Structure 1
């Protein structure tokens, strides 16, 4: 469904999640049991699912990307993350709540060993999976895509267009600044309107101040 760059980024995110989970599991000193293996396999599927959701939004946003000159690939990737950020956070929090209950209540107070093994790996892996999908997988895809000649050419066009627009904006501001000191027609009753410069004459109109 996706290109090889997205597959590579997803695999890197999976390796990150497993490494973080196994590292914390080793620091805690829990024994590796079948429950640990079940937890690791579960977080692999969860992390991959969360990454696919972001990549699907990115794939939709970058369709016919070379036909426009408004956004670069990295900027569209950033917008894709923003569009799925609330969903990722909500899903992660909802998934972590019952796992935290299993870990701290079931394992801590009730002393269930199997619950400790599976809930710890799930708790760490779910948090690491949400992190990797946002901060590792998508930025890695953007970096890989930006190296393509087509994306480099697109970035040059986008930057050139923005530079031209900025230059036009500055000239327009300069032109507006020339008229900022011009007086405006006086309001009824001889009062000068807000922002009008009193005491100057221009284009044969009265300054609005009686002598």
Structure 2
């Protein structure tokens, strides 16, 4: 006996309420934009600027003890990570402590740095501070633009790939779904004021890759069925394609979510923003691959017979296997 999460054959109508799902997606995207504008994002040190203190000690790094020592100073966003390197000897334990820029200052003041170092030495008398580096708001602003360009660049590359692999209607549907996923994820971060840093940008790029993977699988089956069922209405062919790949979608998303939920619950504060972004992104990405990307393709229409020559840009590579 095998455990079946999805029956071998399903015939669910995914497009019965397409107007409702499309309207809900549109409203969520608008709400996300409004939340970002009105509430703003809770930027981390990467985007706000701050100071990084490198520590070295002969004793082991106790992140919890370090954090407890700095907590009474009310420094705001403090990130503490242990650094591992094969070249380190057994008596060389290194940590990086990042403290956000304080209000009214471009970086952490020397007085605060001195007080922080004294607090850490109270925990571990052998601790030393070989380097202290500060990142000002100008560099942080450049990081924000670099992050935006990274997301837009990845989306543009995906647009070109889908255009060459399928048709331009598929490419538009895929990109609309990707922007839908990113906008809503960022909106949730603004709503709950979750720390937004470079790790979250990495999560957003991961979401783009994961979401487009599921979308391409369904698109590929859809293209096969469009050739196979040339007289079947487009909406019925889409429903058939989604149903035929439903088992794969649920199993892939489900197994990934099991690992992510474990990381979200047990991973600690350092990676919580990253794991939350990916977890939420996979849920919304699975939704968008069916209810956003396919709705856009249905609205735009699509070529039904690839045996006929068509020199329209975006269809000349439709028969390429990748």
TM-score range, shorter chain: 0.5 to 0.7
Query: Considering only aligned residues, what root-mean-square deviation do their CA atoms show, in Å?
Result: 1.8
Residue 58 of structure 1 corresponds to 222
Residue 211 of structure 2 corresponds to 47
Unaligned runs of 5+ residues in structure 1 are 152-211
| Residues 222 and 241 in structure 2, CA contact (< 8 A), matched pair in contact too | yes
| Residues 81 and 134 in structure 1, CA contact (< 8 A), matched pair in contact too | yes
Which of the pair is proportionally richer in strand? Answer: 2
SS in structure 1 opposite 2:245?
helix
**What is the correspondence of 1:177-192 to structure 2 with a 5 Å cutoff?**
none
SS in structure 2 opposite 1:48?
helix
Residue 138 of structure 1 corresponds to 294
Which of the pair is proportionally richer in helix? Answer: 1
Deviation at 1:65, TM superposition (A): 4.7
**What is the correspondence of 1:112-191 to structure 2 with a 5 Å cutoff?**
112-113=269-270, 115-145=271-301
TM superposition outliers: structure 1 runs of 4+ over 2 Å: none
**What is the correspondence of 1:16-31 to structure 2 with a 5 Å cutoff?**
16-31=180-195
2:255 is equivalent to residue 94 of structure 1: yes
Residue 170 of structure 1 corresponds to none
Q: 2: CA distance between counterparts of 1:81 and 1:64?
A: 15
SS in structure 1 opposite 2:227?
coil
SS in structure 1 opposite 2:195?
coil
- Greater C-alpha radius of gyration: 1
Unaligned runs of 5+ residues in structure 2 are 1-164, 306-322
Picking from 144, 162, 166, the partner of 1:2 is: 166
Deviation at 1:139, TM superposition (A): 2.3
